[in-house]
Amino acid sequence: MLHICCAPCATAVLENLRNSGYDVTGYFYNPSIHPWKEFKRRLDALKEWAPSVELPVIYYEEYPLEDNIRMLLNGDNRCFSCFADRMVKTAELAFEVGIGLFTSTLSVSPYQNHELLRKAGEKASDLLDVRYLYRDFRGSYRKSIELSRVAGMYRQPYCGCVFSERDRYLKIKSPGQS
Ligand code: SF4
């Protein structure tokens, strides 16, 4: 099961996983994306692209804004809380539908802190009987830009949450950035 943060990142990661022989099912679970219009835009971009590559995707379309902001503010590092939430929910769904392995498109980004990502994935894997596949997809990052441009996909200018939108424009480093 592949946790998908957005369609552009999924392009090259899907190719990478399929080339390694994996049968991939996607899961779009990103309640941190702010504002709702941006969330919808990323969701729609994936819905438009996934059928063209015959990728089955399960979509989490709820938008629990208050709970999410609370969760991001409660932890010591909001990005770790955000990664952990996404990994736990992916592991839970994989377990529910009988998929024994999960990973995330998040690790295609050279801007994310891979140590934190890996820790979040391993922690989620410990909670349930589902293995976490850590794979450093950063080598596919350029390819993802290329593929998403060719597909005419919407490419977002910031990570997702309201804090990252501020950080992007005020040039502040997010706590989950490497
Ligand atoms: S910057 Fe990105 S990873 Fe960090 S909390 Fe915001 S959406 Fe999540």
Domain range list for the chain:
2-170
| Ligand 1 atom nearest 72 alpha carbon | 5
Confidence band of 176 (pLDDT split at 50, 70, 90): confident
Is pLDDT at 9 greater than 90 in this prediction? yes
Q: How confident is the model at residue 131 (pLDDT cuts 50, 70, 90)?
A: very high
CATH number of 2-170: 3.40.50, 1.10.246, 3.30.930, 1.25.40?
3.40.50
Q: How many Å lie between the centroid of ligand 1 and the Cα of residue 21? A: 30
* Mean pLDDT across 137-144: 96
Contact 175, 73 (CB under 8 A): no
pLDDT at 7 over 80: yes
Q: What percent of the chain has pLDDT over 90?
A: 94
Q: Among the atoms of ligand 1, which is closest to the Cα of residue 174?
A: 1
Atom from ligand 1 closest to the CA of residue 159 = 2
Most informative mutation of 79, 106, 111, 173 for ligand 1 (most atoms within 8 A of CB): 79
The residue whose C-alpha atom lies closest to atom 6 belonging to ligand 1 is 161
Residues with CB under 6 A from ligand 1: 32, 72, 78-79, 82, 159-161, 163-164, 174, 176
Averaged over 133-147, what is the pLDDT?
Answer: 96
117 burial (CB, 10 Å; 0-12 / 13-18 / 19+) is buried
Query: Which residues, including other chains, have CB under 8 Å from residue 50's CB and lie 6 or more apart?
Result: 7, 10, 26, 56, 57
Q: What is the pLDDT, as a whole number, of residue 105?
A: 98
In percent, the amount of the chain with pLDDT more than 70 equals 100
The overall average pLDDT reported for the chain is 96
- Confidence at residue 62, expressed as pLDDT on a 0 to 100 scale: 98
| Tens of pLDDT, residues 70-114 | 999 998 999 999 999 999 999 999 999 999 999 999 999 999 999
The model carries a pTM of 0.96
The DSSP symbol for 95 reads: H
| 158 phi, psi to nearest 5 deg | -145, 165
How far does CA 65 lie from the centroid of its chain? Answer: 18
Q: pLDDT band for position 178 (50/70/90)?
A: confident
| Centre of ligand 1 from the C-alpha of residue 82, in Å | 6
Kindly give the distance from the C-alpha atom of residue 77 to the centroid of ligand 1, in angstroms, as a whole number.
Answer: 10
